[in-house]
Amino acid sequence: MKKIVVLSGKSLLAVVVMGGLFGFLAYAADEKTDAKGDLAPLEIKLPQPSLVGTPLDYWSERLEVTFKKRPPFMAPKGVTNVALGKSVTASAKPTLGKLEMITDGDKEAKDESLVELPEGTQYVQIDLGAPHEIYAIVVWHFHAGERVYFDVICRTADDPDFTQNVTTLYNNDHDNTSKLGAGTDKEYIDNYEGRLIDAKGTKARYVRLYSNGNTTDDKNHYLEVEVYGRPL
C-alpha cells in the first residue's frame, strides 16, 4: 500500500525555510567563484637560465629537489611588482655591487649584476614607500651554478625596525641559527625562476629577507627581489 505524505502547515514552513537556506548557500558559493574569476597568473619576467657552473655537492633531508617548472601563481588581477625602483637598506655594507641593484629589474646571473653582503646572518630590507597588500615575493640570490642559501627567512612589517605587525612568510632556519625562531620551510636550490614566497595578501610596508651564507661560500647574495602587490 502506498503511503501518502501530507505536509502540515509547520512542515511546509520548514521546507520553505530550508529551501531559502540552500538558495543562499548556492548564492554564497557563486560569489566565491566570482572572486576567483578576478585572479590571473602573475607575469614574472624570468632571466636567462644559466647552464654553466659547478654542480651542487650538498644534500639535506630538508632540501627540496624538483625538476618541474613552477606552476603559474594566481593573484588578483592588476597586482604588479611594487618593489621595482624602491629603496633598499641592509644589515651590512655590500662587498660587491650596490643595494639599489636589488630592485633595478636586472636578475641575470652575471657578476656585474650581483650584490654581495658579508658572511654571517645578514638581511636586505625594501621600503615599499606605503602600506601594500602583498601576494608574492620572488627572490633571486644567485643562479650561476647550483647553490643553496642557508637560513632563508622572509618577514614583513609596518615599521623599518620590525616591531609592528611582524609577519614571517618563509623560514627554513630549522635550528634557529639566526635567533628569529625555528622554521619548517624547505631549503632549495637557487635557479633562474627565483624563489616565490606566497604572501597571502599580507598587509605591510617593509619586506626583509635574511640569509646566512651558501653552499659555495659564506657570503650572502642578491640579484633581485620582487614584491607583487597593490597599494592599500
Task: Give me the DSSP letters along 92-140.
Answer: S--SBS-GGGGGSS---S-GGG-EEE-SSSEEEEEEEEEEEEEEEEEEE
CB of 175 to Ca ion, least distance (A): 5
Q: Which residues pair with 167 in a beta bridge?
A: 156
Q: Taking contact as CB under 5 A, which single stretch among the options 12-20, 69-77, 153-161, 223-231 is the one that binds Ca ion? A: 223-231
Is 106 a binder of Ca ion (CB under 5 A)?
yes
Rounded to 5, what percent of the chain is helix, strand, coil?
Answer: 15, 35, 50
CB of 206 to Ca ion, least distance (A): 19
Is 101 a binder of Ca ion (CB under 5 A)?
yes
CB of 141 to Ca ion, least distance (A): 11
- Binding string, residues 167-186; x marks residues near Ca ion by CB under 5 A: ------x-x-x---------
- Binding string, residues 132-171; x marks residues near Ca ion by CB under 5 A: -------------------x--------------------
Q: Which helix (H) or strand (E) holds 58?
A: none
- Rounded CA-CA distance 135/71 in Å is 15
- Rounded CA-CA distance 128/139 in Å is 16
Q: Taking contact as CB under 5 A, which single stretch among the options 12-20, 35-43, 106-114, 179-187 is the one that binds Ca ion? A: 106-114
Question: Interaction with Ca ion in 15-74: which residues (CB under 5 A)?
Answer: none
CB of 151 to Ca ion, least distance (A): 4
CA of 46: how far to CAs of 135, 150, 192, 226, in Å? 18, 23, 7, 11
Closest by CA to 117, choosing from 186, 226, 208, is 208
> Which residues here bind Ca ion, judged by CB under 5 A?
101, 104, 106, 151, 173, 175, 177, 224
